Amino acid sequence: MVKRGWFLLAATMLLMGGALGKPNVILVLTDDQGYGDLGANGNPVLKTPGIDAFRDSAVRLEHFFVSPTCSPTRAALMTGKHEFAVGVSHTIMGRSLLAPGAPTLPEVLRSAGYATAIFGKWHLGENYPCRPQDRGFQEVLIHGGGGIGQTPDRWGNQYNSPVLQHNGTWQPYSGYCTDIFFREATSWMALQAKAKQPFFLFLATNAAHAPYVAKPEDAKPFLDAGLEPNLANFYGMLANIDANFGTLLASLEASGVARDTIVIFLSDNGSAMGAFNAGMLGKKGSPHEGGVRVPCFIRWPAKLEPRSVNDIAAHVDLLPTLAAWCGATLPDNWTGDGVDLGSALLAKQPLPQERVVVTHSGRWPATDSPVQHRFRNYSVRDQQFRMVGLNLFDLNADPAEEHNVFDQHPDVVARLTTAYGTWWERVAPVLQQPVRYIIGSEHQPVTSLTAHDWWAPRNIEAPMGADAVWNQPQIKQVLEDLAIPAKRDAHPALTGRWWLLADRDGHYKVTLRMLPAEASAEEIKQLGRLRQGKAHIRVNREEVIVDVIAGASAVTIGIDVDAGPLDLEAYFDGQLAGGNPLGAFFATVEWVGERKRNIHPEIRPNAE
């Protein structure tokens, strides 16, 4: 009877949870909050009591490193690999798309029976196979692009009452964006806890990324203290995160699963403002300490004792560490850059000592080859030193990186240089291969493309590209300039191309616009109408040209496409002076059937 009773109890518990003894995981990632943007790290103005209290109850990784900017850090977090190894080198220009094939943290945890959800910022691709729902997340509530108001986001979106993408469908929400993400995440978490379902919750705020728009009551104390408006709003956004984080933790306690939940708090890069930088050199975008050292706190009441850890660790370590803690199995052939820190954080052994962390701020121009930037904007960090180009800094003696000791430590220079060279040779081939959205797939019938993801055009001299139109205010400014003859006549070429993969042969409908279909009729009337000219679509080496009548707001062209890789350029002439091309800022691509012998262009003179 005893054995039978135990068997029934075990079976019941497995049916209830499916993952007996598995901890839940909450990963909170803030945006652009540097090491010094925290009260506990000495900020003289910003107070963060909620995060500070959490810090005191957690393992504090005092020398934790991420990438210099948004998408790269997210790619490394999700895969346990350096971002260059999975196709991500920038935040725009088509270089923020996460390559298919690399197992992600939500995929790994789902295989172990976890429910998975993301709330907030993804910034690793807008279309199949790069969307969060393609990469392991079951519940998805996100904005588009790298921030609310960027080009891939819902047109006209604001921080207050935004339209957000919920499981692939745009829906309106009420309230301030950060409040919404925390509120919806907390509700989802409570449902999983009630169902006794182990869960992985990735809560990635768009705050405190620019534009700096805080709730007035959050910015007011900093404005009253005399801070300039951008800094006051930046700190107000962080104060709001702090309050929401405290509420999330309180809800976790109330759910009854806090003891068996791993909660991790960190940021994605160094401070965007750097008003207080804890004495470090560099901020967001820099390969120096201040550009990549961020707060990272890990709490697991059932297992971890609060303490400070001064050995180096990095974002790539979280996937293998969490996989081991959660009983998830990595693929047999998995090779990553991260290290399983589980035993070390449990104080069973020291952290790895003989390791280096490579940083490269890969924001080279669209027309450049990665090879041109091999020895630019990079650094290599070990436990004591950071080498930045021909500069070597002893961080133990010189945390501000003021004294170059390159000539004094040739052995260190040789070791770090070798490590960097080995790393570069491994990732360089990946950098040469663009990550492609897949068109014509049943997973996503309509692919929506934007200028945010433009690569450099093939045979067009275009001094301006994605870097000039990656957010909506930039696009509006360009379109407003085109209405002024003097500015229009002086405007240079502005265009790019998309790297795609056709899932199947057939006839595709490509619709080109200067403003997306959801823009208001008045805005399209004022800014989104085309002048008389030509619309060009280039697919690989083939080109289709159709007439554009004055006043058209959208041009739809049908074209036969072979299955396989292709590059797509879509631009207009007649819009800029001197025959300069102007790329379509927005395009949709849809497979509509079998091949057709002829091309049938359709010109739409009115806004949809």
pTM score = 0.94
Residues 257 and 390 in one domain: no
Coil/strand/helix, residue 241? helix
Q: Which of 396, 431, 466 delimits the end of a domain?
A: 431
Answer whether residue 285 is part of any domain: yes
C-beta separation of 294 from 267 below 8 A: yes
Q: How confident is the model at residue 494 (pLDDT cuts 50, 70, 90)?
A: very high
Answer whether residue 141 is part of any domain: yes
Residues 265 and 287 in one domain: yes
Q: What is the pLDDT of residues 12-46, one digit of tens each?
A: 333 333 445 899 999 999 999 999 999 999 999 99
Q: What is the pLDDT of residues 500-553, one digit of tens each?
A: 999 999 999 999 999 999 999 999 999 999 999 999 999 998 899 999 999 999
Q: How confident is the model at residue 307 (pLDDT cuts 50, 70, 90)?
A: very high
Q: Measured between alpha carbons, how far is 285 from 31 in angstroms, rounded to an integer? A: 13
Task: Report the CATH number that the domain containing residue 58 is assigned in CATH.
Answer: 3.40.720.10
Which residues are CB-neighbours of 83 under 8 A, at least 6 positions away? 67, 71, 72, 73, 75, 76, 89, 362
Structural domain tally of the chain? 3
Residue-level pLDDT at 597? 58
Residue 192 CA: distances (Å) to CA of 109, 112, 140, 252, 327: 15, 15, 15, 11, 18
Answer whether residue 3 is part of any domain: no
C-beta separation of 440 from 559 below 8 A: no
Q: What is the pLDDT of residues 111-149, one digit of tens each?
A: 999 999 999 999 999 999 999 999 999 999 999 999 999
Q: Measured between alpha carbons, how far is 67 from 79 in angstroms, rounded to an integer? A: 13
> Average of pLDDT values for 269-273?
98
Answer whether residue 45 is part of any domain: yes
Q: What is the pLDDT of residues 434-469, one digit of tens each?
A: 999 999 999 999 999 999 999 999 888 889 999 999
Answer whether residue 376 is part of any domain: yes
Tokens of 565: 């890789």
Task: Report the CATH number that the domain containing residue 568 is assigned in CATH.
Answer: 2.60.120.260
Residue-level pLDDT at 9? 34
Residue-level pLDDT at 541? 84
Residues 255 and 396 in one domain: no
Q: What is the pLDDT of residues 314-338, one digit of tens each?
A: 999 999 999 999 999 998 888 999 9
> Average of pLDDT values for 346-371?
93
Residues 70 and 89 in one domain: yes
Residues 419 and 321 in one domain: no
Residue-level pLDDT at 261? 98
Q: What percent of the chain has pLDDT over 70?
A: 95
Examine the pLDDT at 85 and tell me if it is beyond 80: yes
Compute how many other C-beta atoms are within 10 angstroms of the C-beta atom of residue 30.
30
Residue-level pLDDT at 14? 37
Q: Dihedral, CA atoms, 154, 155, 159, 164, nearest 10 degrees?
A: -20
Residues 448 and 333 in one domain: no
Examine the pLDDT at 556 and tell me if it is beyond 90: yes
What is the phi-psi region of residue 282: left when phi exceeds 0, alpha when psi lies from -120 to 50, beta otherwise? left
Coil/strand/helix, residue 431? helix
Tokens of 246: 């405290």
Q: What is the pLDDT of residues 386-438, one digit of tens each?
A: 999 999 999 999 999 999 999 999 999 999 999 999 999 999 999 989 999 99
Residues 387 and 514 in one domain: no
Answer whether residue 8 is part of any domain: no
Q: What percent of the chain has pLDDT over 90?
A: 90
Greater model confidence, 9 or 64:
64
Residues 374 and 416 in one domain: yes
Examine the pLDDT at 598 and tell me if it is beyond 90: no
> Average of pLDDT values for 297-322?
97
User: What's 160's DSSP letter?
Assistant: B
Q: Measured between alpha carbons, how far is 13 from 467 in angstroms, rounded to an integer? A: 54
Residue 28: domain span = 21-352
Residue-level pLDDT at 16? 38
Examine the pLDDT at 11 and tell me if it is beyond 70: no
Examine the pLDDT at 167 and tell me if it is beyond 90: yes
Q: What is the pLDDT of residues 206-231, one digit of tens each?
A: 999 999 999 999 999 999 999 999 99
C-beta separation of 7 from 199 below 8 A: no
Q: Which of 409, 431, 453 delimits the end of a domain?
A: 431
Compute how many other C-beta atoms are within 10 angstroms of the C-beta atom of residue 224.
9
Residues 83 and 151 in one domain: yes
Which residues are CB-neighbours of 598 under 8 A, at least 6 positions away? none
Answer whether residue 6 is part of any domain: no
Residues 368 and 485 in one domain: no
CA 117-158-285 angle, 5° bins: 70
> Average of pLDDT values for 581-590?
98
Q: How confident is the model at residue 205 (pLDDT cuts 50, 70, 90)?
A: very high
| SS3 of 552-599 | CCEEEEEEEECCEEEEEEEEEECCCHHHCCEECCEEEEEEEECCCCCC
Residue 121 CA: distances (Å) to CA of 117, 144, 287, 366: 12, 8, 23, 24
Answer whether residue 13 is part of any domain: no
Q: Measured between alpha carbons, how far is 126 from 128 in angstroms, rounded to an integer? A: 7
Residues 240 and 341 in one domain: yes
Tokens of 106: 């939500």
> Average of pLDDT values for 471-494?
96
Residue-level pLDDT at 460? 87
Residue-level pLDDT at 18? 40
Q: How confident is the model at residue 308 (pLDDT cuts 50, 70, 90)?
A: very high
Residues 200 and 311 in one domain: yes
Q: Which of 293, 321, 352 delimits the end of a domain?
A: 352
Write down the mean pLDDT value for the chain: 94
Residue-level pLDDT at 459? 83
